[in-house]
Amino acid sequence: MRDGATPLHDAPGALLPSSRGPLSAAVLAAFGSRPGDSVFSCIQESTADALGEDLQLALQLCYELHYQGFVGVDPDWEWDPELLRLRAGMERAFLAALSDRSTGGADVAGELDQLLVEPVPGVGVSHFLRDHGEWWQLKEYFVLRSIYHLKEADPHAWVIPRLRGRAKAALVAVEFDEYGGGRAERAHTQLFADLLTAAGLSSTYLHYLEQAPACALATVNMMSLFGLHRRLRGALVGHFAAAEISTAPSAQRMDQALARLNAAGECRLFYTEHIEADAVHEQVIRHEVIEDLLDREPEMAQDVVFGIQATELLEHRLSQHLLDAWRAGESALRTPLQADRHGGRLADTPAAGIFA
């Protein structure tokens, strides 16, 4: 690890958050007992808002068992039949909500081309932060994105054994870059941890789960959902394509926002790395992974399109939440990081060492 790098939290598992409704409360209560002792028959996951706080947190709790787990939670919960049954019901509701809000189709090339066109030029979170963002808003953005970026490539790795030939090899090449090309200090999760530290925030894995609203959890849950189900491999490839194609332009705007605020180099490095890397990844995903997948399995076209559209849907929901809050001068977090006497916004005075 290079000098000055901040190691990711090494303790096994994240801390459990508080519940947000009956579903998440039931899962959290179960985690306090032994696997095999809980029955969730009284829980009606079908009546919950599929994109709401309770169901999305409950899914996050279930999925995290497949990654780092939680402090004090028995690892055997990962494959508990009753918890898996509850999760399956929530997944059906989540998938139905995504499908109902997607237009569908099988025109993969058209969907990929559309990703390069801004629906409303100059409107979006990265545009706002570049042109108007204050430091407290940048910090909130980092906090919400930490749920994704401290996990980043891991959900995509589930699709590797489910691909073949050129598609598998090309996707592994992209993932190799995401993991730093074999250098731990260059892994994108580590670069984001360094960003958080330079911004005066915690780099501990899932440290900000409590503050993250459902719209920030949904994209990560969608990645896990697609990755853990082999039948949804095409949708995960579609999501991966959408993420890689849209990242380079937004990363450039984020770097411009950070430059305007004279942010530390560690904050900018995460985004400058993505400007270069994802421009290349876009071409690899499009011409190597997707083309080979569809040559082998042309019936996957609709799933790839679904993955693209679902990603755009959830990213738009998150963007709208952020912009609505910030334009009103309010925090976009469930609980602000710190309040000042000017209406509870995050303080705009940087801590020592944040700026270069």
pLDDT of residue 271: 95
Q: How far is Cα 275 from Cα 297, in angstroms, rounded to an integer?
A: 31
Of the residues 100, 134, 166, which one is the last residue of a structural domain?
100
DSSP state of 184: G
Structural domain containing residue 147: 108-327
Residue 352 lies in a domain: no
Of 47, 76, 100, which residue sits at a domain end? 100
Query: Domain total for the chain?
Result: 2
Q: State the average pLDDT for the chain.
A: 90
Burial class (CB in 10 A: 0-12, 13-18, 19+), 324: exposed
Query: Given a cut of 60, is residue 4 above it in pLDDT?
Result: no
State the pTM of this model. 0.90
Name 355's bridge partners: 263
Q: Does a structural domain hold residue 61? A: yes
pLDDT digits (tens, 9 = 90+) for 135-186: 999 999 999 999 999 998 999 999 999 999 999 999 999 999 999 999 999 9
Determine, yes or no, domain membership for 347. Answer: no
Considering the domain architecture, whether residues 125 and 39 belong to the same structural domain is answered as: no
CATH number at residue 297: 1.20.910.10
Task: Give CA–CA dist 168/170, Å, rounded.
Answer: 6
Note the pLDDT tens digit of each residue in 219-248: 999 999 999 999 999 999 999 999 988 888
Q: In the listed set 51, 74, 100, which residue is the last one of a domain according to the structure?
A: 100
Residue the block writes with tokens 């929901």? 317
Residue 346 falls within a domain, yes or no?
no
Written as six digits, the tokens of 151 are: 């996990």
Residues 77 and 150 in one domain: no
